[in-house]
Amino acid sequence: MQATLDWLDDPEVFRVNQLPAHSDHHFYQTTTELQAQHSSLVQSLNGTWQFKFAKTPADRPLAFYQPTFDASDFDTIQVPGHIELAGYGQIQYINTLYPWEGKLYRRPAYTLNADQLIADDFSEAPDNTVGSYLKDFTLPKAFENKRTIIQFQGVEEALYVWLNGHFVGYAEDSFTPSEFDLTPYLQAGQNRLAVRVYKRCTASFIEDQDMFRFSGIFRDVNLLALPAAHLDDLDLKPTVNDDFKGGQLAVTTKLSGAAVTNATLKLTIKDATGQVLATQTQPGAAKVTFDAFAFDQVALWSPQQPTLYQLTLGVYDADEHLLEVVPYQFGFRKVELRADKVIYVNNKRLVINGVNRHEWNAKTGRVITMADMQADIQTMLDNNINADRTCHYPDQLPWYTLCDQAGIYLMAENNLESHGSWQKLGAVEPSYNVPGDNPHWLAAVIDRARSNYEWFKNHPAIIFWSLGNESYAGEDIAQMQAFYKAHDDSRLVHYEGVVHTPALKDRISDVESRMYEKPDQIAAHLDDNPAKPFIDCEYMHDMGNSLGGMQSYNDLIDTYPMYQGGFIWDFIDQALFVHDAVTDQDVLRYGGDFDDRHSDNEFSGDGLLFADRTPKPAIQEVKYYYGLH
C-alpha cells in the first residue's frame, strides 16, 4: 500500500493500518522484570532523531523514507518534543478561532459545499508545516523472533510511518496512542524508521482546543515486542453488590500470536495487603472469558480511601514456560444516577471538587514528565481537589494510573473541540459546525470515543466519559454517547455543548453541564424541577488575580442535592519560558509575544498554578472551600 497525501484532506481517512485500541496494561517477560517494573519487551525510541523541517507539504523531502536516501542535510531534534519549541515553525496561541484566521479561508469538507471533499485544502496548504523524522535503530536481542509493534503515544497532528522504505501506516487523533505492526518490514541489524508529521489535516477542525498550537512527536515512542502469545486487551468489570459489601469481578481478555491456542492463562487476584483472594486458570484462545469472581467483602475505592486490588495474569506456553506476565491494579466502586436525579458514588452523594487540567510545562509545552504529573497529583491532594477533567483530550497514559492510586476522580474527555466551527465573536453560529450531523465526520469522532474507552476502561478513577468540549451538538455526538452506553454501564456520560441543542438532551449527557454559569442562574435552574443533576464543567475562571466569590458556588452544594460541584478553570497557566535579551532573564511569555497573529494573548493564564507550577495565592481559597465537602 502506498501513502497518499490527500488523506490530509479527507475526514473519513484517519487511521490506516493502525492496530485496534486496547487496554493500557503493561507486560513483562518475567516476574523479575515485573518486580523491577522494567520490561525487556519495551524499547524506548525517545532521544535524538534526524529531522528536516518544511514550511509546506510541497517543500518536504519527498523520498526521505527510502533506505538509500541521503539525509546528510538533516538537522537533529529531540523526541518527544514540539517542532515549534525546537525553533522550527512559529509558536501561536489562539482560543476559539481557527489558527489560520485572517490568513486562509477554510471550511470543513462536506459542509457548505454539500457532499464534497475539498481537494488540497491541507495537502497543498501554505500553512501546513511538515516535520520529516528519521530514526535508525538496532533491534534489541529480546525482540528477535517476536512480533514488533511501534507505539506513538502522541503525535500532532497527522502521522505517516515507513520502515526500511515500506509504508507502515497513518494516524490522526493527536492525543491518543497510535500503534503499527512493524514485523513484516523489520530486518536484522539496522533498521530505518521514517516518520512524517503534518501540522494540519481535516482533524484540525475538531482539534481546536484553547491552547498553544504545536506539532510534532510530543509523547513517548516505544518499540514493543510481543511474545508468541500476547495479551492484546484486558477488560475488567468490577461491580459492587447492592449491599455495598460484596463485589464481583468479570475478566475478559483478547490474545494474539502463534502460540495462543496452546497457551494457558493463570490469573491471581490479591487484595491491597497482598493476600491472595482468588486464582483461576483458563486455556488460551483469541478471546478468553474467566469465570466470574465473587467476593463477600470488598474494600471500596474512593478519594478518601483509594483501595486498589492487584490482578496478575501469566501467559504460559504448552511447556508451562512463562511468555509474559501482566499486572493490573483495579478498584471496586459504584457510580449511580438514581431516581432522585442525584449521582451517588458508593452510596454517597457525589460532590466534585474539581479542576480542569491541561498538560503543561513552561519549558517544554505539552511534553511533560512523570515528575510533572506526580507534582500535579500532590498539588491536588494538598488542596482537597478530588477530581480532574482531562481537558480537552486524553492525557498521557500514566496519568490515569496515578489518579487511581491517589484517589482523584476523572472525567475522561475525548480529543474533540470544534468551537471555531460554531462560535463566532461570542455568538452561536453553527452554519458549518463539525461534527454536527455530518455522516462524513461521524467515523472519526466515534473512533476517538472508542480509543478513549478502550485505552482507559479499566481505571476506577474514571467516573465520567466526556464526549469532548465546545463542539456544539448533533447526531454525531449523540452517536458517541451511544457508543459509551453500549460498552459501559459503570460510568456516566458528560457533555456540555448540548446546552445549545435542547432537542438532543435526551440522547446526550447524563448531567446538565454548563460552563461559567452564574450562581443565581444555577439556583433558578435547579428550582425549576430539572431533569438531570447539575455539574459546572468549567467555573471560577482563574485568570490572573481572580477566584473571588467561590462562596456562592459552595452555598449551592448545601442548598441543592442535585448540584454536584464543578471543575475550576483551570489547573495551570499556559505560558512559555523565553530568554529575554533586554533583562537577560528567563521570562514567561504568552500569546502574541511570538508575533503570532491572530492571538488571544494572555487568555491562557487561568491556572491555580503559575506556568512554572508555583501555586497562585488563590489556591488557599480553593483548599478551604474544597475541604468543606
By the criterion CB under 8 A, which residues form the site for other proteins?
426, 516, 518-519, 539-552, 573, 575, 580, 582-583, 585, 587-590, 593, 602-603, 605-606, 610-611, 616-618, 620-625
> Quick check: is 470 catalytic?
yes
DSSP 35: H
Rounded to the nearest 10 degrees, the angle between the axes of helix 550-559 and helix 519-526 is 10
> At closest approach, how far in Å is the CB of 485 from other proteins?
32
Comparison of 102 and 426: residue with beta carbon closer to other proteins: 426
Comparison of 208 and 573: residue with beta carbon closer to other proteins: 573
Comparison of 303 and 591: residue with beta carbon closer to other proteins: 591
Measured distance CA(352)–CA(289) in Å, rounded:
35
Measured distance CA(113)–CA(58) in Å, rounded:
26
Secondary structure string (H, E, C) spanning 521-544: HHHHHHCCCCCCCEEEEEECCCCC
> At closest approach, how far in Å is the CB of 551 from other proteins?
6
Of 340, 363, 315, the residue nearest 579 (C-alpha): 363
Measured distance CA(524)–CA(110) in Å, rounded:
40
Measured distance CA(510)–CA(338) in Å, rounded:
11
Measured distance CA(214)–CA(99) in Å, rounded:
11
Type of residue found at 49: W
Comparison of 321 and 579: residue with beta carbon closer to other proteins: 579
> At closest approach, how far in Å is the CB of 409 from other proteins?
22
CA atoms 111, 116, 117, 120: torsion sign: negative
Comparison of 523 and 543: residue with beta carbon closer to other proteins: 543
- For residue 486, which phi and psi values (nearest 5 degrees)? -75, -20
Measured distance CA(30)–CA(227) in Å, rounded:
11
Measured distance CA(114)–CA(14) in Å, rounded:
21
Quick one: cell of 484? 459509551
> At closest approach, how far in Å is the CB of 466 from other proteins?
20
Comparison of 283 and 544: residue with beta carbon closer to other proteins: 544
> At closest approach, how far in Å is the CB of 361 from other proteins?
16
In 10 A of CB 496, how many CB atoms?
Answer: 24
Residues 470, 512, 602, 621: which is the catalytic one?
Answer: 470
> At closest approach, how far in Å is the CB of 528 from other proteins?
20
> At closest approach, how far in Å is the CB of 555 from other proteins?
12
Comparison of 137 and 625: residue with beta carbon closer to other proteins: 625
Neighbour-count burial of 616, counting CB atoms closer than 10 A to its CB (0-12 exposed, 13-18 middle, 19+ buried) = buried
Q: Is 57 helix (H, G, I), strand (E, B) or coil?
A: helix
> At closest approach, how far in Å is the CB of 323 from other proteins?
53
Measured distance CA(139)–CA(189) in Å, rounded:
6
In 10 A of CB 200, how many CB atoms?
Answer: 28
Ordered alpha helix ranges (H), 409-498? 439-456, 475-487
Comparison of 47 and 548: residue with beta carbon closer to other proteins: 548
Cis peptide before 306 (omega within 30 of 0): no
Comparison of 216 and 354: residue with beta carbon closer to other proteins: 354
> If residue 257 lies in a helix (H) or strand (E), which one and from where to where?
none
Residues 156, 538, 602, 621: which is the catalytic one?
Answer: 538
- Cβ neighbours of residue 359 closer than 8 Å, sequence gap 6 or more: 366, 368, 395, 396
Measured distance CA(466)–CA(413) in Å, rounded:
4
Comparison of 410 and 576: residue with beta carbon closer to other proteins: 576
- Cβ neighbours of residue 529 closer than 8 Å, sequence gap 6 or more: none
Return the ∠ at Cα 312 (arms to 309 and 315), rounded to 5°: 160
Of 213, 459, 507, the residue nearest 331 (C-alpha): 459
Measured distance CA(543)–CA(574) in Å, rounded:
11
Neighbour-count burial of 272, counting CB atoms closer than 10 A to its CB (0-12 exposed, 13-18 middle, 19+ buried) = middle
Comparison of 116 and 620: residue with beta carbon closer to other proteins: 620
> Quick check: is 207 catalytic?
no
> At closest approach, how far in Å is the CB of 610 from other proteins?
6
> At closest approach, how far in Å is the CB of 580 from other proteins?
6
**Contact, 207 vs 163, CB < 8 A?**
no
> At closest approach, how far in Å is the CB of 425 from other proteins?
11
One-character DSSP codes across 483-506: HHHHH-SSSEEE-SGGGG-GGGTT
CA atoms 604, 610, 615, 620: torsion sign: negative
Comparison of 476 and 606: residue with beta carbon closer to other proteins: 606
> At closest approach, how far in Å is the CB of 537 from other proteins?
14
Would you please indicate which residues are annotated as catalytic (active-site) residues? 470, 538
